[in-house]
Amino acid sequence: MVLTGAEIVIRCLQEEKVEYVFGYPGGSVLFIYDELFKQDKVRHVLVRHEQGAVHAADGYARSTEKVGVALVTSGPGVTNAVTGIATAYMDSIPMVIISGQVPTAYIGQDAFQEVDTVGITRPCVKHNYLVKDVRDLAETIKKAFYLAKSGRPGPVLVDIPKDISAAKCEYAYPKSVAMRSYNPVIKGHQGQIKKAVQLLLEARRPMVYTGGGVVLSEAAEKLIKLVRQLGFPVTNTLMGLGGYPATDKQFVGMLGMHGTYEANMAMQHCDVLLAVGARFDDRVIGNPEHFAEVPRKIIHIDIDPSSISKRVKVDVPIVGDLPEVLEDIAKLLAASGDRPDEKALKAWWKQIDEWRTKDCLKYDRKSKIIKPQFVVEKLYEVTKGEAFVCSDVGQHQMWAAQYYKFDKPRRWMNSGGLGTMGFGLPAAMGVQLAHPGAPVACVTGEGSIQMCIQELSTCKQYRLPLKVILLNNGYLGMVRQWQQLFHGNRYSESYVDALPDFVKLAEAYGHVGMRIEKPGDVEGALKEAFKRKDDLVFMNFAIDPTENVYPMVQGGKGLTEMILSEEL
């Protein structure tokens, strides 16, 4: 059947069972929007800024197993989308971004709304394409979805010039794609897996360290099984939260710059480390030289070979898909009939329990000013740990990660890699659309929320009953914290004067606004907000402006060189 390029785009999205496209129209995507208009299978969500479109598609993808889709116009549409694309790239989120481009004949002529999209996005996509012939369009879109989802996932961009979306050709959607240059390894090397099992059995102070890969590859179930089988302590990175249940007794908390005392101590002092879908980044292990001071054997499982031995040299690299490899390890372990040294393991747990007594997340519960940690704890209680929590970037992000106990994967959405302020609200929109009726919270700060606050309007249009938990301390809190600790209390440009009245602002957008000033009102307000199932409730919590995030490992310092709360 002969179709136009624009018709082909929509057909392909239908074939891929795309529910939602997040986008913003413009000149070079008009043909595609015209075709969107003529059908109702693929629903379009009109955002207020292209950054919001990409974050919303990203949030949708993070909270499901599906590929998020965004549609933007050429030029500024694309440049606005870049922050969102880079955010998804850093966290390996499967997405397809379709962008319009000026007509083929105009490319390179500095045409109106022309930008070198493929060039600008090249370093922050898994791959990108400029479609120069309408006959390549269907196959290119098929490839884009395949690449986005397979191997180490990531965003893939397809740039479509306007004349290509108008041109016609015979259409058939390819059933599958094969690329001689792209074949991700799925099955782990059996010899390496044997070595890994041997090391795990010989361990006296073992540690399991897992990252976002566990969530992305749907490996949580297999991980839990293996960790329980071994009886080892386990920690999650910021991106890996929910990959192992936070309320389980073998869980020692998040590790890293704001990780728990016990997680960081155990990570540093273990003798065998099993790293699963994590990448030893600077916010996780601090200074790699300090980390290497304690000798330990490292097993590293990851689908991306370039993540292995990048910052930390490992002893047993295993490239493969996590569920497969974890299953193989568990099987081999069971077949061996051996057990790790019980006595040594007991002594190790005793040591960890001793570290736990530090109670490193303690804070002043008697405070007359609202403590942010208290708000997150109450949020956890009120939602019974069942909410989808999206965060922005800063202190509130760390408090949410530390105090909301995630027991399931895909419940915690945050920009861990790029650290994008403005991520939370649009991401929460994508999550809410993917999970209608589910409680979705956006934990944010007064700095971050203002970076994409225009999306409150989108929330109204699509009746998205998000709960915005604004931890308002009047400062760019994380910046202020660093300035206090490392820049002699010189608060250069971190105080945000002239904040809007957020209650009125929420109301102006047609939502419910609340201001909460006393600790005694926190729980009641949260309960009321979550009772309002049809309303977006914007909760402005006036929190202690001087509160800091602890424990803290200063950038460049060793993992165990933690600054602890003055409460301790």
Partner 1 sequence: MRHVISLLIENEAGALSRVSGLFSARAYNIESLTVAPTEDPSMSRMTIVSVGSDDIIEQITKQLNKLIEVVKVVDISEAAHIERELMLVKVRATGKDREEMKRMSDIFRGRIIDVTESTYVIELTGNTAKLDSFIEAIDRSLILETVRTGVCGIGRGDRVLKV
Query: Cα–Cα distance between 479 and 460 in angstroms, integer?
Result: 32
Q: Is 147 in the site for partner 1 (CB under 8 A)?
A: yes
Q: What is the DSSP letter of 28?
A: G
- Work out how close the CB of 142 gets to partner 1 at its nearest, in angstroms, rounded to a whole number: 14
Q: In 3-state terms, the chain is what percent helix, strand and coil (to 5)?
A: 40, 20, 40
Query: Considering only CA atoms, which of 444, 388, 376, 400 is closest in space to residue 258?
Result: 400
- Tell how strand 272-276 and strand 388-391 pair up: unpaired
Give whole-number Cα distances, 286 to 32, 214, 279, 311, in Å: 47, 22, 12, 11
Instruction: Compute and round to an integer the Cα radius of gyration of the chain.
Output: 24
Q: Is 131 in the site for partner 1 (CB under 8 A)?
A: no
Q: Which residue has the tokens 């570290």?
A: 355
Give first-to-last CA distance, the chain, whole Å. 71
112 catalytic? Reply is yes
Residue 188 CB contacts under 8 Å (≥ 6 apart), including other chains: 301, 318, 319, 320, 324, 325, 328
Query: Cα–Cα distance between 94 and 144 in angstroms, integer?
Result: 10
162 catalytic? Reply is yes
The count of chain residues that interact with partner 1, using the rule CB under 8 A, is 19
Segment near partner 1 (CB under 8 A); pick from 78-86, 107-115, 177-185, 527-535: 177-185
Segment near partner 1 (CB under 8 A); pick from 65-73, 178-186, 430-438, 462-470: 178-186
From the list 478, 514, 539, 552, the catalytic residue is: 478
- Work out how close the CB of 130 gets to partner 1 at its nearest, in angstroms, rounded to a whole number: 7
Q: Is 520 in the site for partner 1 (CB under 8 A)?
A: no
Among 43, 44, 127, 515, binds partner 1 (CB under 8 A): 127
- Work out how close the CB of 288 gets to partner 1 at its nearest, in angstroms, rounded to a whole number: 11
Tokens describing residue 383: 């939602």
Among 195, 290, 310, 435, binds partner 1 (CB under 8 A): 310
Q: Is 122 in the site for partner 1 (CB under 8 A)?
A: yes
Segment near partner 1 (CB under 8 A); pick from 175-183, 465-473, 528-536, 554-562: 175-183
Q: Is 179 in the site for partner 1 (CB under 8 A)?
A: yes
**In angstroms, how far apart are the furthest CA atoms of the chain?**
74
Q: What is the DSSP letter of 564?
A: P
Segment near partner 1 (CB under 8 A); pick from 87-95, 266-274, 307-315, 451-459: 307-315
- Work out how close the CB of 179 gets to partner 1 at its nearest, in angstroms, rounded to a whole number: 7
Residue 79 or 309 having the CB closest to partner 1: 309
- Tell how strand 206-210 and strand 168-170 pair up: unpaired
- Work out how close the CB of 163 gets to partner 1 at its nearest, in angstroms, rounded to a whole number: 17
Displacement of CA 358 from its chain's centroid (Å): 29
Beta carbons of 495 and 474 less than 8 angstroms apart: yes
What residues numbered 443-462 form the site for partner 1, per CB under 8 A? none
Q: Phi and psi dihedrals of 360, rounded to 5? A: -70, -15
Among 11, 49, 62, 126, binds partner 1 (CB under 8 A): 126
Query: Which x/- pattern, by CB under 8 A, does the window 180-209 give for partner 1?
Result: xxx---------------------------
Query: Cα–Cα distance between 543 and 540 in angstroms, integer?
Result: 9
Query: Cα–Cα distance between 403 and 409 in angstroms, integer?
Result: 16
528 catalytic? Reply is no
Query: Cα–Cα distance between 55 and 429 in angstroms, integer?
Result: 9
- Work out how close the CB of 484 gets to partner 1 at its nearest, in angstroms, rounded to a whole number: 32
Segment near partner 1 (CB under 8 A); pick from 23-31, 78-86, 176-184, 228-236: 176-184
Residue 180 or 384 having the CB closest to partner 1: 180
Among 168, 187, 225, 313, binds partner 1 (CB under 8 A): 313
- Residue 232 has a CB neighbour count (10 Å cut-off) of 23
Q: Is 357 in the site for partner 1 (CB under 8 A)?
A: no
Residue 127 or 269 having the CB closest to partner 1: 127
Q: Is 105 in the site for partner 1 (CB under 8 A)?
A: no
- Work out how close the CB of 129 gets to partner 1 at its nearest, in angstroms, rounded to a whole number: 9
Q: Is 255 in the site for partner 1 (CB under 8 A)?
A: no
Instruction: Give me the DSSP letters along 452-476.
Output: STTHHHHHHHTT---EEEEEE-SB-
Q: Is 118 in the site for partner 1 (CB under 8 A)?
A: yes
Q: Is 490 in the site for partner 1 (CB under 8 A)?
A: no
Segment near partner 1 (CB under 8 A); pick from 89-97, 120-128, 254-262, 455-463: 120-128
Query: Which DSSP helix (H) or strand (E) runs through 331?
Result: helix 322-336
Residues that bind partner 1 (CB under 8 A): 118-119, 122-123, 126-127, 130, 132, 147, 179-182, 304-306, 309-310, 313
Residues known to be catalytic: 50, 112-113, 162, 478
